[in-house]
Amino acid sequence: MPQVTFLPHAEHCPEGMVVEAEVGKSILELAHDHHIEIESACGGVCACTTCHCIIRKGFNTLEEADELEEDFLDRAWGLEAHSRLACQAKVGTEDLTVEIPKYSLNHAAEAPH
C-alpha cells in the first residue's frame, strides 16, 4: 500500500501525518478519513478551489488533471506547477507527499466534518 505524507499545517495537521492509502481514493477522502480537515466547500465535487493542495513528492504518478480541474486550479490561492484539487487527485501505487497551503479562497468556511 502506498503511503501519503501530509506535511505539517498549523490548523489542519500541526504535527504532519503519514498514512497508508488505498489506491483510487482521493487525497481529500483520505485526509478526512484521518481527521485532517482540508476544506471542501463544494463537498468534493470539483466545483471550487478550497481543497487545493500541492503535491511535493509523487506528482508525476497521479493521473493528469482534466480540463474542469485545471479551470478551477487557475483560481486557487498560491497556485504552483504541482498543484491539484485534493478531491480530484486519486492515490496511485506510489507514495505521495502533500502540502496543504496556508490559505484558501473559501469565503464561507464550514465546520469540520
Domain extents in the chain:
3-99
Domain 3-99 in CATH: superfamily? Beta-grasp domain (3.10.20.30)
pLDDT of residue 107: 47
| Residue 57, pLDDT score | 98
Q: Which residue, chain included where needed, has cell 505521495?
A: 96
What is the residue whose three cell numbers read 487545493? 52
Q: Check residue 105 and give its pLDDT.
A: 67
Q: What's the predicted TM-score (pTM) here?
A: 0.89
Picking from 27, 89, 84, 31, the residue whose alpha carbon sits closest to that of residue 63 is: 89
Strands 17-20 and 52-57: unpaired
Q: 2: buried, middle or exposed (CB in 10 Å: 19+, 13-18, 0-12)?
A: middle
Of the candidates 56, 19, 55, 57, the residue with the CA atom closest to the CA atom of residue 36: 19
Tell me what pLDDT residue 104 has: 74
**Contacts of residue 78, Cβ cutoff 8 Å, sequence gap at least 6:** 52, 54, 101, 102, 103
In order along its 113 residues, the chain shows pLDDT tens digits of 999 999 999 988 999 999 999 999 999 999 999 999 999 999 999 999 999 999 999 999 999 999 999 999 999 989 999 999 999 999 999 999 999 998 776 644 444 55
What pLDDT is attached to residue 108?
A: 47
DSSP state of 8: P
